[in-house]
Amino acid sequence: MSLNPQWWSVDPLEPFRLGSRLIPGRVWTASGCFAYGLTGHDMTAPGFDSPFIGLGAVVTKTVTPGPRQGNPMPRLVETPCGALNSIGLENVGLEAFLRDVMPALETRGVPFIASIAATCPEQFGEMAQALQQTGGGLRHWHGVELNLSCPNVAEGGHDFGKNPDTIAACVAAARGPLSDRALLAKLTPNVGDIAALARSAAEAGADAVSAVNTFVGLDVDLATGRPILPRRFGGYSGPAILPLALAKVDEIVQKAGVPVVGVGGIATAEDALKFFALGAVAVQVGTAQMRDPFAAAGIARRLHHPG
Amino acid sequence: MAGPGSSPVCRCRGEVTGNEHVCSGLIRLSLALPREPGFVPGQFAMLNLPGPDAWTFGRPLSILDWQDGVVSFLYRVVGRGTAQLAALKPGDQVTFLGPLGTPFPTEFEGCKVVLVAGGVGLPPLFAWRHRFPGSTVAAYFGARNGEDVPWSLLGPDWQIGVEEFSDGSPEHVRRGLVTDLLEVDFPSSEASPDNVILACGPWPMLKAVHSLARERRWTCWLSLEEHMGCGYGACKGCVVPVNDGDGRWRPATCCQEGPVFDAERLAWSELE
């Protein structure tokens, strides 16, 4: 199949405007799937492939106001076409993110968008304020993605991410301090009317919505007859959800007309192109990035040099 | 930025050059790779099938040997992924991401090093033995019976413990758990605190090795096995509880901070 169809005239390696911010490219890594864009491994040695060349942005692993230990093991279940995860928002906390992660990404020149989660609108506002204070002078920090839909934590997250009014309150609280950075709201697909959530986020000041987060799933250990994951449910991702995510993105574009960053099941350049065909302004690569740290950058470069 | 090991991570395709049983339960897989950035014993690689047959996540396999462009691993068939690995034929392609993970330390000045391997946990110790032949004082391998011992890999310089002993076994083979052999060869009354023990194997063996090392005040490094997602520290799917000395435990990624851990750093109460 051609990667250069007639309807496709965009170069995903060209910077594009999202709100008032110029983002370096249209293929990103999804939050939670590429840590903080830095792992302890050297993946940028001269003469070796780079996971960053061509990458529009790393959406960093969600941070919460304080550090979190995350859920007990096991945290992952592999399925034939995807994976269930229940990591539980393990993260270093906002303070360490501001102190260690942001300067390191800036120094290395990795474009990034900070994913944050909180339990109420006020907290989202405080976190955005702290990010703006620390990151205001950074060239490579491009924005904030509100994680309004992580299904793996008991408080906050998933449930209030289903309510258009709470979404609006969270977006508005974070918008205030973020004058010149992009603001995205990441939406859960586990609702009846995702377009209503997108509309609500956009009206409150989000520059785009990221759609979608994982679908609720469960797997059973036949040896014990019980769910494999200690919290029973996990977030289902991977190639299996690609058509489901495409449908949600289409619903948002058609009904709400809100800019969408498409995410869900992308493993190849062809998969990414399908989101662009529906009108997505950018895409994120998640589970495939876990399998291959070079996945998103490779997809971006294939779309840049079709064929 | 320096990685946990000394080598950059390479992602490439390898061609299967061998995939044979070395004993009843263990298979040695060899891949010819276009690159050879080097590795340190204890490091592993994520292997996967190329193209649309790829598993959602690769399979982490510890590196047994890597020279002249050929890297090899040992594995046991335990599930869907390893069953598909076992079906690979010479000439088949496999994707390779590695070397990954924090390896065993390589220098123990003035110390004698005891290597302890159980079953499929052999690769990192085998690699260490070959890389640093001069510093090892003794190497041990444990298995259920003689059929589970990869004789072609283990010379008479390996002490072998088998639970089911058969008459006519070679001289360096004894009946018992590998930790029973260690108790005999290194009585705690003659403990030398300068010794270091490096081990990889089933969990009960690692626990026994750790308590044996504690009694003798030996330094003890353990290579752990854990189900992994990404294998390179990104997904936080393979955590192990560790103590950082502040009285609280925290989750450490087995794939990046490990798989080799100082046994004293593990939060044993959380592991039970």
Q: Express each pLDDT in B189-210 by its tens digit.
A: 776 778 999 999 999 999 999 9
Question: Closest Cα partner for B117 from B253, B254, B225, B239?
Answer: B225
CA dist list (Å): B220 to A254, A292, B105, B184, B210: 61, 33, 11, 18, 7
pLDDT in tens, A203-219: 999 999 999 999 999 99
pLDDT surpasses 60 at A69: yes
Between CA B156 and CA B149 the distance in angstroms is 12
pLDDT surpasses 80 at A124: yes
Residue of A nearest to B98 (CA): A41
What is the residue type of B53?
Answer: D
pLDDT at B3: 42
pLDDT surpasses 70 at A227: yes
Average pLDDT of chain B to the nearest whole number: 91
pLDDT in tens, B127-161: 999 998 877 789 999 999 889 999 999 988 999 99
Q: Which of B10, B230, B246, B248 is the best mutation test for A, with the most CBs of A within 10 A?
A: B230
Across the interface, whether the CB atoms of B235 and A85 are under 8 A apart is answered yes
A48 contacts on B by Cβ (under 8 Å):
8-10, 37
Please identify which residue in the block is written with the tokens 């001069």.
B134
Lowest mean pLDDT among A73-77, A208-212, B36-40: B36-40
Count residue pairs from A and B with Cβ separation < 8 A: 114
Q: What is the mean pLDDT of residues A239-249?
A: 98
Question: Closest Cα partner for A286 from A32, A7, A9?
Answer: A32
Half-sphere exposure of B134 (CA within 13 A, CB side): 5
pLDDT at A263: 98
CB B54 within 8 A of CB B46: no
Per cent of chain B over pLDDT 90 is 74
Q: What is the mean pLDDT of residues B90-101?
A: 96
Lowest mean pLDDT among A9-13, B117-121, B222-226: A9-13
CB A276 within 8 A of CB A9: no
B257 contacts on A by Cβ (under 8 Å):
40
Residue of A nearest to B235 (CA): A33
Q: What is the mean pLDDT of residues A105-109?
A: 93
By Cβ distance, the residue of A39, A76, A108 closest to B232 is: A39
Q: What is the mean pLDDT of residues A272-290?
A: 97
* Tokens read off for B30: 């060899």
Instruction: Provide the strand spans (E) within chain B.
Output: 10-21, 27-32, 44-48, 59-67, 70-75, 93-100, 113-118, 136-145, 158-164, 173-175, 196-200, 219-223, 239-243, 249-253, 260-262
What superfamily does domain A16-67+88-216+239-304 belong to in CATH?
Aldolase class I (3.20.20.70)
Q: Which residues of A are catalytically annotated?
A: 150
pTM: 0.94
Confidence of residue A173 (pLDDT cuts 50, 70, 90): very high
Length in residues, chain A: 307
CB B25 within 8 A of CB B122: no
Least Cα separation, residue B128 to chain A (angstroms): 21
Across the interface, whether the CB atoms of B57 and A290 are under 8 A apart is answered yes
Between CA A245 and CA A286 the distance in angstroms is 13
